[in-house]
Amino acid sequence: MGKKILFVASECSPFVKTGGLADVVGSLPQELNKNEKTDVRVILPLYQEIIANWHSQMELVTSIQVQVGWRNQEATIYQLVHQGIHYYFVGSDYYFERKGIYGYYDDGERFVFFCRAVIEALPVLDFQPDVLHAHDWQAGLAVAFAKISDPVKDMKTVFTIHNIKYQGIIPKDAYQELFNIPEEHIGGLEWNGLLNCMKSGIFHADKITTVSPSYAEEIQTPYYGEGLHPIFAERRNDLIGIINGVDLDEYNPMTDPHITSNYKYSRIKKKENKENLQEKLGLPIDSEKPMYVMITRLVEQKGLHLVQTILDEFLQEDVQFVLLGTGDDEFENFYFHAQQRNNQKLVSYLGFDEALARQIYAASDFFVMPSLFEPCGLSQLIALQYKSVPIVRETGGLKDTVIPFDETEETGNGFSFSNYNAHELLHILKYSLAIYHDPTRWSALLKNVNKSNFSWKDSASEYANLYQSLDGSFNKAY
């Protein structure tokens, strides 16, 4: 029988998604479970949005009482099997029956509750994991509580850092009211005198992973470590970078129901998607016009300040630019007004729209992702699937997945620049345009794009090996 793994996470496609974490938690179990060595299940909060769309298919497992400070809160556990994967959901009227997922004043408390509920539910589930695999800060305390209270004999823990910037920090006086942890454990939960959920996960986990080899190196430095880099001095040997894969069935231009013309390599079909999108967004219809796009959370991490600095100048070129995103007001305002100034060339679609995202991937020639930092990045991998050429800054997973095009050797699947500098970005954008207009070089580049493959297969086998290694029986034969 396979090793039993329980993923603990705050989002998971297709139930709830705000970013790449959901893609990973949604697709990695599918790949792992193709192999009989693992039986992966997933536990998530039961948000209002999930209740609305999935509740009728769920089955009640049990209800438990969870102590959060002075409050005794009920956690109702449901289950559902979807596409062969077993999902559990932690329901709470008080914490999760709200609009949206994050952004509440008590997010810290909500995920303290979630993590406690997961650990306290373990003994009553019909699934006693060999490994609890927690993802990002929202699940960090599950690792800590597992280590402290030992709910399942010999259970090991893995903690994956998807983005170290978001740590789940709770003021000391607030968290002392949230749970009663014996004094000797407080040190493992705190960082600089505050409760830090991400640090708690890193500190307590048997193994720590992050989502690309380059990011695993970067987070050990002050520049990228977001204040947590000193922890890795002690945990360096337990930290591994495993690059994310893409769900090739989900993101497949051959079968994607959201796009007008399905294709594999055909540029003609791809251009049909471009014309369709141009029509939909009110841009001049011209399939030869190079189209640059971004699909992103509108936050500083994504290099939006660089784009802002040079956007008007770049739009002097004969190009079109489409941005789909939602996030900080600063950026929403900028891109809204930038469209007013450049309305035949730029469309800023401010919102979250999965179908439109697919149409943009399919229509585009270039995918722009000049991130300040990027743990892995899925968007550039999805872009490659849809034969859109990524233009990235050389950081984290972008550096590990996008190889700069070399005209002489005809190698590389995209364009990249090194320094966080707007004019380096402008330079590479203009260079990419020159390549677009050079048929020989453009087709050499597209050949390499067509060959790029970021399936989950290799990465899933690295996770499977990691799980095996936890009890000493390291097994290379996965």
Residues of this chain that interact with ligand ADP (CB under 6 A) are 19-21, 23, 295-297, 324-326, 352-354, 357, 377-379, 382
413 neighbors 384 (Cβ within 8 angstroms): yes
Angle at 42 between CA 36 and CA 43, to 5 degrees: 155
Taking the least distance from each CB to ligand ADP, the nearer of 312 and 354 is 354
**In the bound complex, what is the minimum distance in angstroms from residue 254's beta carbon to ligand ADP?**
18
- Rounded CA separation 227/251 (Å): 35
Give the span between the Cα atoms of 437 and 54, in whole angstroms: 48
* Between 25 and 195, CB nearer to ligand ADP: 25
* Closer residue to ligand ADP (CB): 20 or 168: 20
Could you tell me the smallest distance in angstroms from the CB atom of residue 300 to ligand ADP? 12
Taking the least distance from each CB to ligand ADP, the nearer of 380 and 468 is: 380
Q: Which is nearer to ligand ADP, 146 or 242 (CB)?
A: 242
- Shorter beta-carbon distance to ligand ADP: residue 33 or 296: 296
* Residue 163 CB, nearest approach to ligand ADP (Å): 6
Minimal distance, residue 451 CB to ligand ADP, in Å: 21
Q: Which is nearer to ligand ADP, 325 or 414 (CB)?
A: 325
Contacts of 297 (CB under 8 A, 6+ apart): 18, 19, 325, 326, 327
The distance of closest approach from Cβ of residue 379 to ligand ADP in the complex, given in angstroms and rounded to an integer, is 4
Find out whether 31 and 456 touch, Cβ atoms under 8 Å: yes
Which one, 38 or 296, has the nearer CB to ligand ADP? 296
Give the nearest residue (CB) to ligand ADP: 20
Q: CB-based contacts of 105: which residues, under 8 Å, 6+ apart?
A: none
Task: State the minimum distance, in angstroms, from the CB of residue 397 to ligand ADP.
Answer: 8
Query: Closest distance between ligand ADP and the C-beta of residue 133, in Å?
Result: 18
- Is the Cβ of residue 328 or residue 353 nearer to ligand ADP in the bound state? 353
Nearer to ligand ADP (CB atom), residue 115 or residue 293? 293
To ligand ADP, the closest distance from the beta carbon of 371 in angstroms equals 8
Query: Shortest distance, CB of residue 92 to ligand ADP, whole angstroms?
Result: 25
> What minimum distance in Å lies between the beta carbon of 433 and ligand ADP?
24
Strand arrangement, sheet containing 415-417: 346-350, 320-327, 291-298, 366-369, 389-393, 415-417
Nearer to ligand ADP, 236 or 258 (CB): 258
371 phi, psi to nearest 5 deg: -60, 145
The structure tokens listed for 459 are 């990465």
Rounded to a whole number of angstroms, the minimum distance from the CB of residue 287 to ligand ADP is 23
Convert 255-265 to b/e letters by CB count within 10 Å (16 or more is b): ebeebbbbbee
Phi and psi angles of residue 366, each rounded to the nearest 5 degrees, phi first: -135, 140
Where do we find the tokens 């942890």?
Answer: 181
Alpha-carbon distance of 405 to 27, in angstroms, equals: 29
Residue 33: CB minimum distance to ligand ADP, A: 22
Nearer to ligand ADP, 235 or 297 (CB): 297
Determine the Cα–Cα distance for residues 449 and 413; give it in Å rounded to an integer: 5
